Amino acid sequence: MTDAPDDFGPLMGQNVVLDVAAQFVYIGRLAGSDHKYLILEDADVHDLRDTTTTRELYVLDTRRHGVSVNRQRVLVSREQIVSLSALDDVVM
């Protein structure tokens, strides 16, 4: 990911899925970014160690049923992000 804060133009304001290197998945509305973090609002921070479901199934269920918000705002380190996609791009 680059350091420019406006790289994500079309995704700003949309629900996105952030896959990270750790056993977490972040889903929420992309509200901003800076050189170090992506900012999600109305987000679901899900620890995959707490469930028997896979990352893929969890994201698919979220796509089907909506985001289960458990954080008003969360900053996610760019260094940890493996992939970013719009939740609407998740194929059902």
pLDDT of residue 57: 94
CATH of domain 9-89: 2.30.30.100
For CA atoms 34, 36, 38, 39, the dihedral sign is negative
Residue 58 and residue 46: Cα distance in Å, rounded?
A: 9
pLDDT of residue 62: 96
- Paired tokens of 55: 């990352």
Residue 32: strand pairing partners: 39
Query: What residue spans define the domains of the chain?
Result: 9-89
pLDDT of residue 6: 55
**Average pLDDT along the chain, 92 residues, taken 10 residues at a time:** 60 96 96 94 96 93 96 97 95 87
Residue 86 and residue 26: Cα distance in Å, rounded?
A: 12
pLDDT of residue 7: 67
